[in-house]
Amino acid sequence: MGSLRVLELYSGIGGMHYALKESGIPAEVVAAVDINTTANQIYRHNFPDTPLWNKTIEGISLDDFNKLSFDMILMSPPCQPFTRIGLQGDIRDSRTKSFLYILNLLPRLYKLPRYILLENVKGFESSTARELLVKMLKECGYTFEEIMVSPTSVGIPNSRLRYFLIAKISTAHFSSQKILDTFPHPTESDSPEQPIVLSASHPGTCGPEEKIQADPVLYKLETTVEVQRKMKQNNDQSLRMIQDFLEPEMEVNMELFLLPPKTLQRYALILDIVRPTCRRSTCFTKGYGRYVEGTGSVLQCCMDTEVHHIYNGLDQCSEAEKLEQLSKLKLRYFTPREVSNLMGFPQTFSFPEEIPIKQLYKVLGNSLNVMVVARLLQLLVS
């Protein structure tokens, strides 16, 4: 196979481009398109030789697309119209305009791309946008697979469930009617399902060295189901430990990343706390570092203190005592580098120095897991 010409739409910080490199498929990104200034700055910093178009997709003519003569499209359209916390405006949301433009333009191309890969949030699978996409693919003679997977399926201790669609110009064996929740056609290297041992462990803590009563104390605002799910993940040997993804301690200015006192006092009961020996973390969103609820896990840096010792009886403490207790855990945010490690970005990936940390979290939250996409690209092209 010669080198594939790839068009990367909604290119962001280059997650798809890195996935392409990681997949080992001979390919060249002939153009990347995005309008986010910060994301483009990071993309340019990492891929200075790739033509990066800072323009809206609707602003690109059929003629411009034809000139690129691409074999593959990679795209991650805006997810806000489909998220469960959004308004779920679907195709009524103006942010789907560019995607509808692509669906209209694709069938009119001089040469149809052989391959398409699309990523979006859970929720996209039941949208009108997805119905229109599937209709277009069928009319143009593509077969496709739809898969809903998380990075945990490639051994990364981070939950980020996403919808993926991979399509290619028709070969009879490659189509399914239902959405898969695991990679199709498992390869030799796939590890078999690990038996889960729900041993006594504590919510928010982990590691074999901890002997804690089997009945977990719900010392935080967690349901028993959540606690058991966390324990199950922490016992899953197919997942790597968080410590594999951390920056060396001497390279992190801890003061910059410690949770501020106000945050500790106000949100102590809803923090998702993980330790370096954990095998789980929650999805990092673009609000990480600014908002607390549902935006990502925080790391416990002081291992001499057990989380449940701190939380037991916390409600009886004065505000000052509460703060003193919680500060013992040395809770900090994951650094942008660590978040990108958990999102599968390689060590060669880096940020331009002038971009503020908050902006880095924002663009990372909008990105995707590189290793998951690399695996899907191998399936698509194989």
Catalytically active residues are 79
Enumerate residues 6+ apart whose C-beta is below 8 A from 138.
none
- Which of these, 124, 40, 25, 141, lies nearest to 72 by C-alpha position? 25
Across 284-298, b (16+ Cβ under 10 Å) vs e yields bbbbbbeebeebbbb
User: In this structure, which amino acid lies at residue 241?
Assistant: M
Q: Do residues 211 and 183 lie in contact, with contact meaning Cβ atoms separated by under 8 Å?
A: no
User: Whole-angstrom Cα distance, residue 296 to residue 288?
Assistant: 6
Q: Do residues 47 and 352 lie in contact, with contact meaning Cβ atoms separated by under 8 Å?
A: no
User: Whole-angstrom Cα distance, residue 122 to residue 134?
Assistant: 16
Across 308-343, b (16+ Cβ under 10 Å) vs e yields bebbeeeeeeeeeebeebbeebbbbbbbbbbbbbbb
- Dmax over CA atoms of the chain, in Å, equals 71
The pair of three-digit structure tokens given for residue 200, joined into one six-digit string: 């006594």
The pair of three-digit structure tokens given for residue 89, joined into one six-digit string: 């405006």
